[in-house]
Structure 1
Amino acid sequence: MAFTLDDLPVYPHLALPDGHTPHSVAALIMASLARNGVSGVFALANSWPLDVDPQYARILDDWVAAGHHIGNHTHTHPLLNETAAAAFIHDVSVADELLAPWISKAPLRAFRHPLDFWGNTEEKRVQVNAHLDRLAYRSADVTSWFYEWEWDRAWQYLLQTGRLEEAERLKAEFVDYAAAQVAHDAKTCRMVFGHDVIGIGLIHPLTFFTEVADAFFARLFAEGVTFVPLSDALDDPAYLRSGTIVTDAFQVYQIKIAAADGRVLDAVPPTHKALMERVFELGTPLRPPRRGMLVQNRRARAS
């Protein structure tokens, strides 16, 4: 698996708990990566924080100094399915310019669509793909995400409501779930592509992940997972269908491809569906009503 991060330097969708900052969260994640020997991790970055506070550039500097890499995740995290092609293309170009000092040091030019949306119309899909080609980006899709943003909401809600023992148990439950999710995703990739696929995993810079990172890596190592460069994963021909389908679905790569081929596959291991339903329910009080305007709202508040 290639391990990746989205939304560095600032996760915009939920405020960090008291006592934590984007700088401290990034530092804790980098420390865990170092302890566990996970190197060369691509962080797909949004560039809007550089407009809000130039000090956020230090997170990107530290990330690269630690031996990791930066890719483009757009400027303001617009959702292509809700955005005109021209506006989305402009947003990508702004990020390309602002993030150039760090992207230029990476071994490949990686891009990831926000929420992995490739476009809900053929016109959008074609125009955006052509622009990404002009900028020489390779699309880094995701075969394993862990819904840790939902776990983070659930965990924060438990802390806020004084349910400390339950919040602590949630960490162990997440590690067990993550191992099951990786195994499930490897199985669905084999079903869809006919061979073992080098997966691409995704985590966001959230406080909850800093609490479980060492246990997360230890468990995946125990399950036989090894971490490889993103370029190794993208060289797998399975990823050639990235960005080729018009869809409005929020799905990991292989589930999206399967759906286009008329196959419905479970996104979550059946053994853990009840647990995930409980996690989603716990996080409901902290879940924002809409995702599309979150970054813009955060920028407005910060300014």
Structure 2
Amino acid sequence: MLQLFLLAIFVVFLSTPAVASQVSITVDDFNLSSEIGMEPLKRNAAILAALKKHKIKAAGFVTTKYLNDSKAVEAVKEWSSSGHVIGNHTENHWKYNDKTPAEFSADIIAAENKLKPFATFKKIFRFPYLKEGETLEKRDTLRSFLKNNGYSNGHVSIDASDWYINMRLVEKLKKGESVNLEKYKNFYLKHIWDRSEYYSKLARKTLNHDIKHTLLLHHNLTTALFLDDLLKMYQEKGWKVIDAENAFMDPTYSRSSDNIPAGESIVWALAKQMGDKSLRYPAEDSVYEKDEMDKLGL
């Protein structure tokens, strides 16, 4: 009887489908000043079209100094009217480690005042560069400020270097050099998938379960060119793409670490707090992708 019982459990285990990893799209900055490679509002339209095609709502974290450009204002209006969440990414995109709490807090409020007119604005704040303070006093002062002003932390779980791939592509276009977009796309997708798998595995290792992920992208040319392919890739690999607002309901995003310096991916930060010795610092940066891109001529 015991053997039959164990066999039945084994059969049930085999027949139970694995829970699909879940990921949402978050897009930072909204700097629409660059015309290189694609006119800015066409770039915005391409990003929104990819999101609409895949029937998902993203979150856009806006650095409000860019709203001095009418194209950026139009882009954020289109995001909001399409039902995407608008979050606060400061007025000036300062690195908090370089500023006082008073300066940085004022910069958040300045951004809030510009973002409040957008219907889908929510008090979700994302630190520029994911840097949350290099001292205990600065870290905790900002955490108190955000809490007292009704903000949640718009944590990233899957950090990546899309900005660096974009920078390399734009530099080649600016110089008038020949560009193989297929090669850039393949590298981009490989990079994002590598980082997605890494942070998913790190979540399981650290928390004993996966989470609803938030992927960090930027409002740039590579997002416009490759977002549709990226969303297809996730689906083909068995991941479920979900709305950003849904992802931020995961309890992990209400957590914080006791690390100094504070910041990085929330998954990385919690792993660091638990003493994971395998982590690199910074978690993501251009140095990790440079050699391979050089070898590929990208």
Please indicate the TM-score interval, normalised by the length of the shorter structure: 0.7 to 0.9
User: Partners in 2 of 1:140 and 1:208 — Cα distance?
Assistant: 22
Residues 240/280 of structure 1: CA separation in 2 closer, same or farther (3 Å cut): farther
Aligned counterpart in structure 1 of residue 98 of structure 2, from 82, 95, 98 = 82
Aligned to 1:35: 53
Aligned to 1:25: 43
Aligned to 2:65: 48
Residues 115/212 of structure 1: CA separation in 2 closer, same or farther (3 Å cut): same
Q: Does 1:257 align with 2:257?
A: no
TM-score by length of 2: 0.81
User: Partners in 2 of 1:244 and 1:63 — Cα distance?
Assistant: 35
Deviations 1:96-154 (A, max 9, x none): 1111112x534x42111111111111121122112111221110111113311111122
Aligned length: 270
Aligned to 2:88: 72
Structure 1 residue 275: Cα displacement: 8.2
Residues 64/262 of structure 1: CA separation in 2 closer, same or farther (3 Å cut): same
SS of residue paired to 1:136 = coil
Aligned to 1:138: 152
SS of residue paired to 1:144 = coil
User: Partners in 1 of 2:289 and 2:70 — Cα distance?
Assistant: 38
SS of residue paired to 2:193 = helix
Contact kept? 1:129, 1:243, Cα under 8 Å = no
Deviations 1:8-56 (A, max 9, x none): 2x167xx4515522x2221110011112222x21101111123x33453
User: Partners in 2 of 1:121 and 1:76 — Cα distance?
Assistant: 21
User: Partners in 1 of 2:48 and 2:93 — Cα distance?
Assistant: 23
Unmatched runs of 5 consecutive residues or more in structure 1: 286-303
Aligned to 2:24: 2
Map 1:134-283 to 2 at 5 A: 134-159=148-173, 160=175, 162-165=177-180, 167-242=181-256, 244-247=258-261, 251-266=264-279, 276-278=289-291
Structure 1 residue 156: Cα displacement: 2.5
Aligned to 1:97: 113
Contact kept? 1:152, 1:206, Cα under 8 Å = yes
Contact kept? 1:73, 1:92, Cα under 8 Å = yes
User: Partners in 2 of 1:140 and 1:193 — Cα distance?
Assistant: 19
Unmatched runs of 5 consecutive residues or more in structure 2: 1-22
Aligned to 1:296: none
TM-score by length of 1: 0.80
Residues 70/274 of structure 1: CA separation in 2 closer, same or farther (3 Å cut): closer
Q: Choose 1 or 2 for highest CA Rg.
A: 2
Contact kept? 1:151, 1:279, Cα under 8 Å = no
Structure 1 residue 57: Cα displacement: 1.8
Structure 1 residue 266: Cα displacement: 4.9
Residues 153/57 of structure 1: CA separation in 2 closer, same or farther (3 Å cut): closer
Letter aligned with residue 84 of structure 1:
T
User: Partners in 2 of 1:138 and 1:196 — Cα distance?
Assistant: 21
Letter aligned with residue 24 of structure 2:
A
RMSD: 2.8
Deviations 1:65-124 (A, max 9, x none): 11212010111111111111100000001011111112x534x42111111111111121
Structure 1 residue 185: Cα displacement: 1.3
Residues 155/56 of structure 1: CA separation in 2 closer, same or farther (3 Å cut): closer
Structure 1 residue 282: Cα displacement: 8.1
Residues 152/56 of structure 1: CA separation in 2 closer, same or farther (3 Å cut): closer
Contact kept? 2:152, 2:254, Cα under 8 Å = no
Residues 54/178 of structure 1: CA separation in 2 closer, same or farther (3 Å cut): closer
Aligned to 2:15: none
